[in-house]
Chains A and B, each alone.
Chain A
C-alpha cells in the first residue's frame, strides 16, 4: 500500500502584488499553499530577494558589503551595483539619515537621494523610512510623489501614520503601501482594515508584520507568520491575504553575534562569517514561516538565499 499523502492545497490564496514596471517588474504572493509546499500545488511567484542600501552610503556597512560596492562614489552608483547583485530581484532604499535621533537629514535632502536612485535603476524599488513615525509621515508621503510612475513599495505605514502615507502612496500616487505592525496577528489585521477603509485597494497592500533576529524572541515572528498564513489560507480571511515583505539585514547586522569584533570574541571566529550566518538563518526562517520577500545586505547572503529559494521551488 503506497503512501497516501493528502494535499494541503487551500481554496483561498494570498494576493499577488506587482512591484516595479517593465521587464524587471516582479510579482510577490499569489500562492495557495504553505511556504515552499510545492508538493501540494505549484507556487507561481517564488519568494523574492531584495538588497538594502542606505542614504548614508557605505560608512556604517559591514566590511564585506563595503567591499562589494568598492569604487561607488554616488548613490546612483551604489543603487546600480545593488540592482546588479547576483540573486537580487529588487532594491530597497532606506532613508536612515532622516532619523531625528541620528543625522536628522531634511526631507529635501532625502528626496534628492530618492530621485537619484529612481533615475539610476530600472529594478523594482522599495523605499523605506527611518522608523521615526512623525518623520516618516512627511518623508514617505513626499517619496511617493517623487517616485511616481515607478510602482514602488512604500515601507511603511504604521498605525500612527497610516492616513497620510496610505493616502499619498496608495491613493494619490498609485504606489504599493507597506503596512507595518509589531509581531501580532491582530495588529496586522487591524492596520489592513484601516488602510482598506481609507480606500487603498487590498491588492495594493503588502504587509511588514515585524521581525527579529534569530535568537531574539524569534518565536513570536514564527508564530505570527504561521497564524497569518493559516488564517489567510484556511479561513479565507481577506484582510490577512496580503503578501508579507520582511527587512532582515538591518536587524541581523545590529546584534551582538554580528557586531562583536574578533578581538573581543576570539573564540567566535570570523566576524563576517557570523554576520552572514545570522542574516541567512533569519532570512531562511522568515521565508519558511511565510514571508514572500526578504531584504538583505550582504552579497553572500543574497546569493545564498536566492539559490535556496530556487532549489526549494
Chain B
C-alpha cells in the first residue's frame, strides 16, 4: 500500500483517454492509491507496470470466496482494525460443529430451525464444520450427510487420504479444507489445488502458523484461511488478534493477510453461555468464521443482532421499511404513533410500546434513515411529509383518528393538524422511555 498517487501516475500512459472512467490519468492514479478503483480499469497499462502495481496496491487482507450458489460467502478483505476508522466489510459467519459419531441429520435439523428475520435481513448458521476423528470411512459418511444441505462445508481433516476422499464427495460445493499444518502442508496444498478449494492452515502456535503459511505461499497457493484456534481461550484470542493486526498494520505483513477460523467447540465445549460470550468477542475482534456446537434462538438473537450492528457501514444509517407496524395486537381502531425510519429509533420506540402493553400502530415514514431531530433539521421530517404519509398510507387502513407525534418535534403539531382534517394530534414525551407511562395513563383516562 506504500505506493502514492504520483508513483502510479508515472506508470500510466498519461494520455488522458478517459477509458477508465476518470477524467485524467492523474485523477485515476489518485483513486487507485486510495483503493477506490482497481488498477485493471486502465486498458492501456503495460504488463510489467500492471504486475508491479497489482502487487503494491493489493489489499493487505485477501478476500476469500467459499461455498457456491446461495451458500457462497466472501470472507476477509478488511482494511481497518476498528469499525469507526472506515467500516468492516465481511460479516463473521457461524458454523455448526458436527462429528461422525453424532446424529448429523438431527443436529442440522435443529440448527435449521433458526431463520431469523431482522430489519429485512434473513439470518441462519451459514456453515457446517465436520471434524474427522481418524476413521476415514466414518468421516466420508459424515461428509455425505452434510453435502447438499445448503451450508458451506468446512472439512477438519489432517490426513491427506481421508481429505481427498471427502473432497471427492463435496468439492462441487466449494468447501474449505481445514487440514494443512507444519507436517502435511505439501500434500494438502496439492489436494486443495487439484480440487480448487480453499485451504485452512493451522499451527501449534502463532510462529508455526506463520511459518507454515509462508511455506504454502511459496508453493504458490494463496486461497487460504487461517485456523487461529489455540490450546485455550487465551491463546485463541491472542492469535486471532495478532494475525489481524499484523496484516492491517501500517507496514502490513501479508503472510497473515487471510480470514480466520475460530473453533469454540474446541476451547469452550458444551457451554452455551460461554460460547455466546466468546462468539460475541470474536464478532468484534476478528473472527471470520466462528464454529459453535449448534445454532438456536438463544444464540441467534444476540449474535445476529450484534453482527448486524457491528458490520453496518458507519456512513450509511440502518433503516427500517416505512409502513404501519401493529404492536400489542393493534388493529384499525388503535391509536397511531409516528416516528422516523432510523433503525435505532424504531427499535427503542417499538420496545417501549411493547412494554406498555397498549395496542397501537407505529407508522414509520421515510425520513432518510435519520433520527428525529436530525431528520427534522434536514427537512426530511416535516408537517408535509408526515401528513402526506398519513393521508396516503394510514388513512385507507386505519379508522382511528388520533395521531401521536414525537415530543422532540412538538412544534409540528399545529401544522399537521391544519393539514390533516379530522385528526387529533397529540404530542408524546421527549424520551421513548416515558412512553410506557404516557400510554398507560391515556388508556386509564379512556383517551385511547
Contact = CB atoms under 8 A, between A and B. Distances in A.
B310 A284 contact: no
A262 B306 CA distance: 22
B276 A277 contact: yes
B234 A38 contact: yes
Contact of A301 (B237, B273, B312, B314): B273
A274 B297 contact: yes
A8 interface: yes
A114 B122 CA distance: 47
A267 B355 CA distance: 21
Among B113, B280, B344, B351, max chain A CB count under 10 A is at B280
B249 interface: yes
Contacts of A71: none
B297 A285 contact: no
Given A281-B280, A300-B273, A269 B298 contact: yes
A278 B302 contact: yes
A5 B242 contact: yes
A311 to B, nearest CB: 4
A222 B232 CA distance: 25
Contact of B206 (A5, A277, A308): A5
Interface stretch (A140-148, A173-181, A209-217): A209-217
B303 interface: yes
Contacts of B83: 219, 222-223, 226
B184 interface: no
B348 A216 contact: yes
Contact of B305 (A215, A254, A307): A215
B65 interface: no
A308 B274 contact: yes
A257 B306 CA distance: 13
Contact of A280 (B209, B249, B276, B437): B276
A285 B298 contact: no
B278 A308 contact: yes
A309 B335 CA distance: 47
A68 interface: no
B281 A285 contact: yes
A276 B118 CA distance: 20
B207 A227 contact: no
A106 interface: no
B232 A311 contact: yes
Interface in A289-313: 289, 300-301, 304-305, 307-308, 311-313
A311 B347 CA distance: 34
A284 B278 contact: yes
Given A277-B299, A301-B273, A285 B284 contact: yes
A273 interface: yes
A39 B310 contact: no
Interface residues of A, number: 58
Interface in B305-360: 305-306, 308-310, 312, 314, 343-344, 347-348, 351, 354-355
A218 B273 contact: no
B347 A277 contact: no
B206 A304 contact: no
Contact of B301 (A39, A215, A222, A305): A215
Interface in A240-285: 254-257, 259, 267-270, 273-274, 276-278, 280-285
B196 interface: no
B413 interface: no
A304 B355 contact: no
A276 B84 CA distance: 29
A254 B249 contact: no
A220 to B, nearest CB: 8
Contact of B297 (A227, A269, A311): A269
Given A216-B344, A280-B273, A308-B278, A289 B302 contact: no
Contact of B284 (A277, A288, A301): A288
A76 B343 CA distance: 42
B310 A219 contact: yes
A280 B277 contact: yes
Interface in B199-222: 206-207, 209-211, 214
A86 B211 CA distance: 43
Nearest to A216: B347
B277 A281 contact: yes
B246 interface: yes
A274 B280 contact: no
Interface string A50-66: 00000000000000000
Contact of A223 (B82, B283, B299): B82
Given A2-B210, A219-B309, A223-B83, A214 B285 contact: no
Nearest to A304: B273
A188 to B, nearest CB: 14
B217 to A, nearest CB: 12
A152 B8 CA distance: 60
A37 interface: yes
A233 to B, nearest CB: 13
B280 A311 contact: no
Contacts of A38: 234, 238
A158 to B, nearest CB: 13
Contacts of B271: 304
Contacts of B348: 216-217
B266 interface: no
Contacts of A39: 238, 241-242
A11 interface: no
A223 to B, nearest CB: 4
Contacts of B274: 280, 304, 307-308
Interface of A: 1-6, 8, 36-39, 101, 131, 213-220, 222-223, 226-227, 230, 254-257, 259, 267-270, 273-274, 276-278, 280-285, 287-289, 300-301, 304-305, 307-308, 311-313
Given A218-B305, A230-B82, A281-B303, 8 more contacts: A3-B256, A219-B309, A223-B83, A278-B302, A280-B280, A280-B302, A283-B277, A308-B274
20 contacts: A1-B211, A3-B242, A3-B246, A5-B206, A8-B245, A36-B237, A38-B238, A213-B305, A214-B303, A214-B305, A215-B309, A219-B83, A276-B273, A276-B276, A280-B273, A280-B277, A280-B280, A282-B280, A288-B281, A308-B233
Interface of B: 82-84, 113, 118, 206-207, 209-211, 214, 232-234, 237-238, 241-242, 245-246, 249, 253, 255-256, 271-274, 276-281, 283-285, 296-299, 301-306, 308-310, 312, 314, 343-344, 347-348, 351, 354-355, 433-434, 437
What are the nearest 3 A-B pairs in CB distance? A215-B305, A281-B302, A3-B210
